[in-house]
C-alpha cells in the first residue's frame, strides 16, 4: 500500500515536470513552502484546486463538512505524494472556521493562501418566492462565512508579511441563471467583497481576487447537465461547446496565489468557455 503511494507520488512529480517541460517553463514549485487553506475541497472545483496548489509545492489543508469526505480526499492526495492534511469545517460554523485556521498554524506555522470556495444553493424558483430562511442560508454560507473566515486568516497572513486570497464566485454574478436568483445575488456580493477587501488589505501586502467559473461538471451543477437536452441547451451559450472540468479552474487559482500575480488584486477571472459574461 505504502509502495503504491510512493509510486503514485513519483508519477505525480514526473507528470509535473512533463507539464512544465511541455509548456517551456522551467520554474518549479512556484508555491513552495506556502501554506494554503481551501474550503469545500473534498470534491469538485475545490478538490482540483487543492491538488494543484499542492502539486505546485504548497502544504494544503483541505476541509468540508463530512469527516468521511475529508478522509477520502486526504488519502487520495497523500497517495499522490502531495503535502495535504484535512479537517472538518462547515464554513457556516464559527468554531469550525477557527479550528481550521488553528490547525494550519499548528501544523505549518502560518497561512499564506486562502481559497474560499464553499457555497450552497438551497432554492430554485422566482427570486421573490425565496423565503427569509432561504436568504439567511444563502447569504450566511456564501457571503458572511467567507468574510468571517478571511477575517480570521488575515492576522496569520500579516505575521508572514502578506498573502493571497481567492474567492470563488460564479459566472452567475455577471449573467444570472434563471431560477437561481438568491445564489446569483450572493455571488455578486462576493465580487463586492473582493473589491472592498482588495483596497483594505493591500497595505498589508494581501491580495484578494475572484474566480468566476462557468458551467463546470460537478455534483453541484448536476441539475444543469443531468440530461442531454438540458446540457445541450446550456452548451448553446458557450463558444467552447462543452462543459468545463474542475481541473480547468485550478491552474488559474494557482497563478493568482503565486508571485507571478504579485501586481494583481481586486480582479475576477471568468473560466466559462466563452459564455458571455461582460463587455
Ligand atoms: N460547478 C459549477 O458549474 C460552478 C459554477 C460556478 C461556480 N461554482 C462554485 O464553485 C464552488 C464549488 O462548487 P463545486 O461545483 O465544485 O461543488 P461540488 O463538486 O458539489 O463540491 C462541493 C464541496 O463543498 C463541500 N461543502 C458543501 N457545503 C459546505 C459547507 N457549508 N462548508 C464546507 N464545505 C461544504 C462538499 O463536501 P461536504 O459534503 O463534505 O461538505 C464538497 O467538498 C461553489 O462556490 C460554487 O458556487 C460552481
Residues 65-99 have pLDDT tens digits of: 999 999 999 999 999 999 999 999 999 999 999 99
Give the per-residue pLDDT at 24: 56
Give the per-residue pLDDT at 17: 43
* Residue 202 domain-assigned (yes or no): yes
Residues with CB under 6 A from ligand 1: 39-40, 42-46, 64-66, 69, 89-92, 117-120, 141, 168, 170, 213, 215-216, 218-221
* Residue 12 domain-assigned (yes or no): no
Closest ligand 1 atom to the C-alpha of 168?
Answer: 45
Which residues neighbour 131 within 8 Å (Cβ) at sequence distance 6 or greater?
none
Give the residue-averaged pLDDT of 237-252.
97
Closest ligand 1 atom to the C-alpha of 118?
Answer: 45
Question: Cα(120) to centroid of ligand 1, in Å?
Answer: 7
Closest ligand 1 atom to the C-alpha of 90?
Answer: 32
Q: Which pTM value belongs to this model?
A: 0.93
Question: Cα(22) to centroid of ligand 1, in Å?
Answer: 31
* Residue 279 domain-assigned (yes or no): no
CATH code: domain of residue 102: 3.40.50.720
Is 183 in the active site? yes
- What does pLDDT average to over the chain? 92
Report CA-CA distances (Å) from 247 to 12, 223, 253. 15, 20, 10
- Residue 56: which domain range? 28-270
Distance CA 228, CA 205 (A): 47
* Residue 59 domain-assigned (yes or no): yes
Q: Which mutation among 37, 39, 46 tests ligand 1's pocket best, with the greatest number of atoms within 8 A of CB?
A: 46
pLDDT at 209 over 70: yes
Distance CA 220, CA 45 (A): 10
* Residue 21 domain-assigned (yes or no): no
Question: Cα(46) to centroid of ligand 1, in Å?
Answer: 7
Give the CB-side neighbour count of residue 27, counting CA atoms within 13 A.
10
Give the per-residue pLDDT at 26: 57
Structure confidence by residue, pLDDT tens digits, 140-198: 999 999 999 999 999 999 999 999 999 999 999 999 999 999 999 999 999 999 999 99
Q: Which mutation among 88, 173, 220 tests ligand 1's pocket best, with the greatest number of atoms within 8 A of CB?
A: 220
Closest ligand 1 atom to the C-alpha of 64?
Answer: 34
Question: Cα(21) to centroid of ligand 1, in Å?
Answer: 32
* Residue 20 domain-assigned (yes or no): no
* Residue 10 domain-assigned (yes or no): no
* Residue 6 domain-assigned (yes or no): no
Give the per-residue pLDDT at 4: 43
Q: Which mutation among 39, 40, 230 tests ligand 1's pocket best, with the greatest number of atoms within 8 A of CB?
A: 40
Give the per-residue pLDDT at 20: 47
The total of structural domains in the chain comes to 1
Per annotation, catalytic residue among 108, 168, 183, 197: 183
pLDDT grade for 272, boundaries at 50, 70 and 90: very high
Amino acid at each position: 500500500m505504502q509502495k503504491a503511494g510512493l509510486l503514485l507520488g513519483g508519477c505525480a512529480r514526473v507528470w509535473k515536470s512533463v507539464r512544465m517541460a511541455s509548456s517551456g517553463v522551467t520554474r518549479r514549485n512556484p508555491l513552495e513552502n506556502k501554506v494554503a487553506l481551501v474550503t469545500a475541497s473534498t470534491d469538485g472545483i475545490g478538490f482540483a484546486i487543492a491538488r494543484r496548489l499542492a502539486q505546485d509545492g504548497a502544504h494544503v489543508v483541505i476541509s468540508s463538512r463530512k469527516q468521511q469526505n475529508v478522509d477520502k480526499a486526504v488519502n487520495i492526495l497523500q497517495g499522490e505524494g502531495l503535502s495535504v492534511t484535512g479537517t472538518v469545517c462547515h464554513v457556516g460554523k464559527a468554531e469550525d472556521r477557527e479550528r481550521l485556521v488553528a490547525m494550519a498554524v499548528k501544523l505549518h506555522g502560518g497561512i499564506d493562501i486562502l481559497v474560499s470556495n464553499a457555497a450552497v444553493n438551497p432554492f430554485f424558483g422566482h427570486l421573490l418566492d425565496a423565503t427569509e430562511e432561504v436568504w439567511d442560508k444563502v447569504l450566511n454560507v456564501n457571503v458572511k462565512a467567507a468574510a468571517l473566515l478571511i477575517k480570521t486568516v488575515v492576522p496569520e497572513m500579516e505575521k508572514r508579511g502578506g498573502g493571497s486570497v481567492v474567492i470563488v464566485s460564479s459566472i452567475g454574478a455577471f449573467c444570472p441563471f434563471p431560477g437561481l436568483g438568491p445564489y446569483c445575488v450572493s455571488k455578486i456580493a462576493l465580487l463586492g467583497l473582493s473589491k472592498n477587501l482588495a483596497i483594505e488589505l493591500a497595505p498589508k501586502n494581501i491580495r484578494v481576487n475572484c474566480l468566476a467559473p462557468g458551467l463546470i461538471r460537478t455534483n453541484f451543477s448536476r441539475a444543469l447537465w443531468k440530461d442531454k437536452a438540458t446540457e445541450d441547451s446550456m452548451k448553446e451559450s458557450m463558444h467552447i461547446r462543452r462543459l468545463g472540468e474542475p481541473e480547468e479552474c485550478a491552474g488559474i487559482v494557482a497563478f493568482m496565489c503565486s508571485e507571478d500575480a504579485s501586481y494583481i488584486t481586486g480582479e475576477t477571472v471568468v473560466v466559462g468557455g466563452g459564455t458571455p459574461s461582460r463587455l
